[in-house]
Amino acid sequence: MSTIVYVPRDSSALSVGAEKVASAISQEAAKRGIAVTIVRNGSRGLYWLETMLEVATDKGRVAYGPVKAADVSGLFEANFLNTEAASAKAHPLNLGLTEELAWLKQQQRLTFARVGITDPLSLEDYLAHDGYQGLKNALALSAADIVKTVTDSGLRGRGGAAFPTGIKWNTVLGCAADQKYIVCNADEGDSGTYSDRMIMENDPYVLIEGMTIAGIAVGATQGYIYLRSEYPHALAVLNEAIAKAQQAGYLGDNILGSSYGFTLEVRRAAGAYVCGEETSLLESLEGKRGLVRFKPPLPAIEGLFGKPTVVNNVISLATVPIILHKGAQYYADYGMGRSRGTLPIQLAGNIKQAGLIELAFGITLRELLYDYGGGSASGRPIKAVQVGGPLGAFLPESQFDTPLDYEAFTAIWAVLGHGGIVAFDDTVDMAKMARYAFEFCAIESCGKCTPCRIGSTRGVEVIDKIIAGTDRVKNIKLVRDLSDTMLNGSLCALGGMTPYPVLSAINHFPEDFNIKDATV
């Protein structure tokens, strides 16, 4: 009998040698005459343990990690496929039953329910793990009831803006038009975030299902996934998954025999961070430079090619199927305050145990950084974390007890964004980080509005003066003044939020700017 061994195909797992591990296993098995079936699953998101391979047993999957290709022959020597063998149990890389790993067991995986468990491209696997149950329920509901279910779930845009998804859908539903669109924003450019990538590479059908439900709900027949060009693996997986879904009748005309039709196409972005902003994204999809549009009109009313358009993040859309499957209340029962449901949190940067943690809103940063993250990777104290990407505030240790909740973050002049947390140890120079924030804005500015286009460059220059020790107090005041202009005068979040990392760095870490206190 052939034993099933799971080896992830996720690009982060590949980045530390998963492909070599997979081929070493098949070679070693062939050499020893042992029957092994290798299944390329997604990653469970315990990235410090990648390549984490799993052996299927009667009791569940047994994990080994982190495995290097060079470890494979030793694993066979220890009879690792026979997980009951004493030698397998004693192997230093044996992690025990995957489902019993505390890091995983304590999570509340709703959006990520299948990630790491299934073969991402197997439609059979998807169906066997509750796939397309949401769509089936949606097909039995009226459009208005689908939208109401999403509204009642309390789901808010997971891309960062946290706008209620159901309300956006309702606006599009209410527009009469000959053509409407569903656009998935997969331009995940925030440093420290990778949950969109994980969904697309490791459970592509859930995104396809979510977009299909959105199309049925608002009356859109065409969908586009605007995917960043830095994600070649996600591109390949999505295209293959779309073709398979189409073949099986889950996309195309008359979905599952209904009167609804929905077609889906992946469009490659081209390396412009600003195209993650929804109106810039629409310009880019139309084949133009990614210049931000004035709002109004809202994209929901005049979006892609001037038609009513739902623009949602990958995670928002990928969460729709479970809401339609289990019901609005099931999802809304998770979370705190006005932040309902779960958030796929991504730990990154200088952290010992980095990876994907899906939990209900409400857990604190400290719990994430120390209980899950295990502290810094370098072993030094964590000095600061940046939450929500390059436009998010830097938080000092004194704010680590803030719960992950949109409103709690707003209250401390910070943003939760897309749920990425980047940790820095005490070797970080916050003046350098503030400079980088301005520099990044200057590189990525679309150039349409002056505060962002010019302000970012002036910002770099002023920070350089502060670092050089020229008129520090005067120049800090100048940075505050410039930030005020950018905050209030920019057309979109790129210029409008660059002051978050800059000012939070000054306010919380004045010593790095060689000033006594931040009130100057």
Partner 1 sequence: MQDTLIDQASVQAGWSEKLDQLIAQYKSLPGALLPLLHAIQDELSYIPESAYPKIAQALSLSVAEVHGVVSFYHHFKTHKPGRHVLQICRAESCQAMGSEGLEAHAKQCLSIDYHETSLDQAVTLEPVYCLGNCALSPAVMMDEEIFGRVSKADLEALIHDAKKTEAQA
Catalog residues that contact partner 1 under the rule CB under 8 A. Answer: 11-12, 14-16, 45, 47-48, 50, 188-194, 196-197, 229-233, 267-273, 284-290, 305, 346-350, 354-356, 377, 386, 390, 420, 422-425, 428, 433, 436, 440, 443-444, 446
By beta-carbon proximity to partner 1, the closer residue of 30 and 443 is 443
By beta-carbon proximity to partner 1, the closer residue of 168 and 197 is 197
Query: Which residues lie across from 39 on neighbouring strands?
Result: 6
Minimum distance between the CB of residue 414 and partner 1, rounded to whole angstroms?
15
- CA separation for the pair 201, 237 (Å, rounded): 6
Minimum distance between the CB of residue 62 and partner 1, rounded to whole angstroms?
23
Residue from 60, 54, 148, 151 nearest 99 by CA = 60
Q: How does DSSP classify residue 26?
A: H
For 496, the token pair is 């409008």
By beta-carbon proximity to partner 1, the closer residue of 288 and 477 is 288
Minimum distance between the CB of residue 289 and partner 1, rounded to whole angstroms?
4
- CA separation for the pair 185, 168 (Å, rounded): 14
By beta-carbon proximity to partner 1, the closer residue of 282 and 408 is 282
Minimum distance between the CB of residue 300 and partner 1, rounded to whole angstroms?
19
Neighbours of 514 (CB within 10 A): 12
**Which residues, 6 or more positions from 277, have their beta carbon under 8 angstroms from its beta carbon?**
292, 492, 493, 494
Prior bond of 296 cis (ω within 30°): yes
Instruction: Give whole-number Cα distances, 196 to 185, 226, 317, 422, 482, in Å.
Output: 9, 12, 10, 16, 33
**Which residue carries 């609804």 as its tokens?**
260
Per this entry, what is the length of the chain?
520
By beta-carbon proximity to partner 1, the closer residue of 48 and 112 is 48
Query: What DSSP element (H or E) covers 53?
Result: strand 53-57
By beta-carbon proximity to partner 1, the closer residue of 129 and 380 is 380
Minimum distance between the CB of residue 368 and partner 1, rounded to whole angstroms?
13
Minimum distance between the CB of residue 30 and partner 1, rounded to whole angstroms?
25
By beta-carbon proximity to partner 1, the closer residue of 149 and 350 is 350
- CA separation for the pair 182, 219 (Å, rounded): 9
Minimum distance between the CB of residue 70 and partner 1, rounded to whole angstroms?
15
By beta-carbon proximity to partner 1, the closer residue of 47 and 513 is 47
- CA separation for the pair 99, 266 (Å, rounded): 34
Minimum distance between the CB of residue 422 and partner 1, rounded to whole angstroms?
5
Minimum distance between the CB of residue 217 and partner 1, rounded to whole angstroms?
22
By beta-carbon proximity to partner 1, the closer residue of 125 and 196 is 196
Q: Count the alpha carbons within 13 Å of 374 in the hemisphere toward its beta carbon.
A: 12
Query: Which residues lie across from 340 on neighbouring strands?
Result: 335
For 301, the token pair is 């009313």
Minimum distance between the CB of residue 389 and partner 1, rounded to whole angstroms?
8
Query: Which residues lie across from 346 on neighbouring strands?
Result: 356, 420
Note whether 214 and 220 are within 8 A (CB).
yes
For 144, the token pair is 């208005």
By beta-carbon proximity to partner 1, the closer residue of 57 and 263 is 263
By beta-carbon proximity to partner 1, the closer residue of 148 and 432 is 432
- CB crowding 294-306: b at 16 or more within 10 Å, else e: eeeebbbbbbbee
Minimum distance between the CB of residue 95 and partner 1, rounded to whole angstroms?
17
Note whether 18 and 50 are within 8 A (CB).
yes
